[in-house]
Amino acid sequence: MSMNLVTTLYLIASICFIQALKGLSHPTTSRRGNVYGMLGMGLAIVTTIGLIYKLSALSFGQGGATVGIGYVIVGLLVGGTAGSIMAKRVEMTKMPELVAFMHSMIGMAAVFIAIAAVVEPQSLGIVKQLGDSIPAGNRLELFLGAAIGAITFSGSVIAFGKLSGKYKFRLFQGAPVQFGGQHKLNLLLGLATLALGITFMLTGNLGAFALMLALAFVMGVLIIIPIGGADMPVVVSMLNSYSGWAAAGIGFSLNNSMLIIAGSLVGSSGAILSYIMCKAMNRSFFNVLLGGFGNTADAAGPAGSKEARPVKSGSADDATFLLTNADTVIIVPGYGLAVARAQHSLMELAEKLTHRGVTVKFAIHPVAGRMPGHMNVLLAEAEVPYEQVFEMDDINSEFGQTDVVLVLGANDVVNPAAKNDPKSPIAGMPILEAYKAKTVIVNKRSMASGYAGLDNELFYLDKTMMVFGDAKKVIEDMVKAVE
């Protein structure tokens, strides 16, 4: 395989990746975007295998190259099979954990490649023969790729634990883990990591490189633990960006244009998404990058510490009566809908209301659920028509003229405190303005607070009726009542 052919194939794969990002920017083209992404990655993998075989044959002969490629293919088959099984089995509500896990694997892959490049640079073509010194520029690239990869790995492990909610270990709890001098410690570790990385770049000292990696792993943990469950959507996109930059850094070291391009695309798109998420949650972008936010849960106080307040509650039949007698209905889906796997039943309810002449729309908050776009994917899975799904900025002006808003498992994204209480931890956060509707129906299992740990004034308004119970069961009862 000639280098000209490799360059051409990598260019085609890069174009596929760009088309993938373009396609994933809208639900109507997301399937096409995924196809482009798979084609680009498949082409990049095949091209890289051919390139590895050619370089191995030059160094070790045909026999050695064949054995080496055999190991590579076995690794691809093992990893590809494991990934396919995980992707097939994962539930929609567990998708954020899977994404965090994959980010951790990308970070660790960057670390392993960097270690291999530092220990045996001649095997990766960084130097001509064993004993030659790695150029300072390559040492800088290896330092950056390894450090970012280590931070991505350990941070993603913590994010996985927080998203999963299965583990009792305190670092994996949804509540922020904070202590005195935390930010100063992070700054000290960051400066020490930078100093060790520069030392490695200037001297090639392996001890400095090893210690730098250890500190980077610790930093990844410390950056994520102060972030609470309410801010996990931003964390997911942030770690996505980190994984991309780690891959790009290693790509420079290996002189692999495909890694550089793919890593840069992931890193930049993840950074843009993080910025959008921060804007949607009224967070500081730089605080997110440095792990300096996520104290909302502490501000809210311990669960159950608030005095019980009366609410107006009703049954599924009561809610159905209000829905069927309305001219306009806006449905606000939240994580509770995903947990109950009620999206298909919800689609059936929307269809029946539409057939009765009710105008039904869906309102999506950018950070609803546990990861960016979670609710969009959920509704797409149920084949909800895209023209009925509206983003927050496009539909907020309509709530004031809406007869009924049906809130399903959402909490923080419809909390009026963000608008009305300047002392609230979520003050200034843009929300879906459901409280402006004539009537509000809220379905929840209980009066428990959302991820931000805050009471929701929407639930106590005179115009609000609470319908308690599992979302799927409640919606199915609504469907029967409509019939």
Please provide residue 342's backbone torsions phi and psi, each rounded to the nearest 5 degrees. -100, 10
Q: How many CB atoms lie within 10 A of CB 420?
A: 11
Question: Does the active-site annotation cover 317?
Answer: no
Across the strands, what pairs with 313?
466
| R_g (Cα) of the chain, nearest Å | 25
- Extract long-range pairs of 118-124: CB within 8 Å, 24+ residues apart: 118/142, 118/206, 118/209, 124/253, 124/254
Give residue for tokens 């000292």.
Answer: 205
Across the strands, what pairs with 468?
444
Q: Is the dihedral angle over the CA atoms 296, 300, 301, 302 positive or is it negative?
A: negative
* Cα–Cα distance for residue pair 271/245, rounded to 1 Å: 10
The two tokens of residue 50 are: 């051919």
Amino acid at 202: L
Q: Which residues of 19-58 are buried (b: 16+ CB within 10 A; e: fewer)?
A: bbeebbeeeeebeebeebbebbbebbeebbeebebebbbe
- Written as one string, the DSSP assignment of 183-250 is HHHHHHHHHHHHHHHHHHHHH--HHHHHHHHHHHHHHHHHHHTT--GGGHHHHHHHHHHHHHHHHHHH
Q: Report how far Cα 248 is from the mean position of its chain's Cα atoms.
A: 19
By three-state DSSP, how is residue 439 classified?
strand
Residue 378 CB contacts under 8 Å (≥ 6 apart), including other chains: 92, 333, 337, 338, 343, 369
* Total residue length of the chain: 483
Q: How many CB atoms lie within 10 A of CB 330?
A: 24
* Cα–Cα distance for residue pair 18/113, rounded to 1 Å: 25
Q: Report how far Cα 127 is from the mean position of its chain's Cα atoms.
A: 38
Contact 445, 481 (CB under 8 A): no
- Extract long-range pairs of 86-92: CB within 8 Å, 24+ residues apart: 91/341, 92/338, 92/341, 92/377, 92/378, 92/381
Residue 6 CB contacts under 8 Å (≥ 6 apart), including other chains: 47, 50, 51
- The residue annotated as part of the active site, out of 327, 403, 412, 462, is 412
Active site residues: 412
